[in-house]
Structure 1
């Protein structure tokens, strides 16, 4: 269970130094978000930044506490931090990076944009990633209130990456085990069609 039901509750009880918002509105059709970034779901900020690059708008809500960052988790159907909500609602499609438990390297893909999730599943598998739909309906990203589905189209994409995969992809030590972070980024950009931005 989340400690806070919405951002107003969180902001009222947490020190401002407990979290950070990092966002860049490039007025693109697609935005990349990590609503549980930093130390809340480690690795998701790095993945969102990598996919966004200098191409897409992005938004990160990052836990910065020395410990207890799970307290800063606001479930995606309740996530309403104002600048994040504004960026998503101003975009046609949001692609959300999340983390889930798991010792195997798996990408679980969900969201209401079935056409895009099917295409991303194909491009990711072609690059060597294991892709599936999470068995837990709460991690499938299909609720209309989910932040990933609150863009203008009403349809978005939600990634749930296992801890094992996030740790490896976000590791900046230069390990070159395939598939790499660049494969992840390129698969998503290919599916979105960055030339149409």
Structure 2
């Protein structure tokens, strides 16, 4: 486990540059550079372009409680989000599906009978180029389905892409995930599970631009008012696919991909068993 700021300090002192050329779909834009003030703004200005420029995919599972004797339990435990999928932050659509329990190639359950399937929502850039223009920062996400999923769940895991420099990963080992969000317990479970799976983890510092700690960040707009945000570096995401293209990724996920998804799901299962998950 590393601290992003301490790594940046060490790299600077050593005279090592942390900047890497941003590959297509490599990392996030910022609110200051977004063309659209919100998802609603994007939908209005790109009216008629859904399915051409962008796409939205989601799945909401049914919850029922017909037992008059028991306490209500009809709320989602966990939802998985990918706000910048497709060609915006490459690989995050597929990871969203995998963590939710689905095979990205055909959307069939991957983990077998009895394994949990989580609600998911994603926004995807599907242009042949220029998808970064479709980025809407997490604190400005106002898609109604995304907000409903987050507000109806105890936990949200929001999957994003960044560069190694943005995560504070050392140049000698750029494959890393920056773990943020307001749920410190879930962050710890994610860090422990991912580290055990051999993934380099870096803790987001509260003041980092991509720390995911704003209450307005959709990952924190849950029933408990907190969630988790995962920022995977370009190199880590690239290692998860045999064919790292928009059309090729879904059908070419590899062992590294599933190792990451397995670890996140293990952390989520541990979180769901935590005493803090009880809603009276």
Q: Please give the TM-score of this superposition, normalised by the length of structure 1.
A: 0.91
Partner of 2:179: 109
Please say if 1:188 is aligned against 2:258. Answer: no
Structure with the greater alpha carbon radius of gyration? 2
1:20 is paired with a residue of what secondary structure? Answer: strand
Structure 1 CA distance for aligned equivalents of residues 136 and 43 of structure 2 = 12
Partners of 1:116 and 1:40 lie apart in 2 by: 26
Label 1:66 to 1:29 Cα distance change in 2 as closer, same or farther (>3 A). same
112-121 vs 6-15, which deviates more? 6-15
Shift of 1:170: 3.8
Other structure's SS at 1:29 match: strand
Aligned length: 194
Deviation at 1:175, TM superposition (A): 5.3
In 2, Cα distance between equivalents of 1:182 and 1:87: 24
1:131 to 189, 201, 222: 201
Structure 1 alignment gaps of length 5 or more: none
Distance 2:39 2:253 in 1: 36
2:138 is paired with a residue of what secondary structure? coil
Q: Which runs of 5+ in 2 are unaligned?
A: 1-32, 64-75, 102-108, 110-116, 165-170, 243-250
Aligned equivalents of 2:232, 2:253: Cα separation in 1 = 20
Distance 1:79 1:174 in 2: 28
2:229 paired with 1:167 = no
Q: CA RMSD in A?
A: 2.0
Q: Which runs of 4+ in 1 moved over 2 A?
A: 133-136, 170-176, 194-197
- Report which of the two has the higher share of helix: 1
Scaled by the length of structure 2, the TM-score of the pair is: 0.65
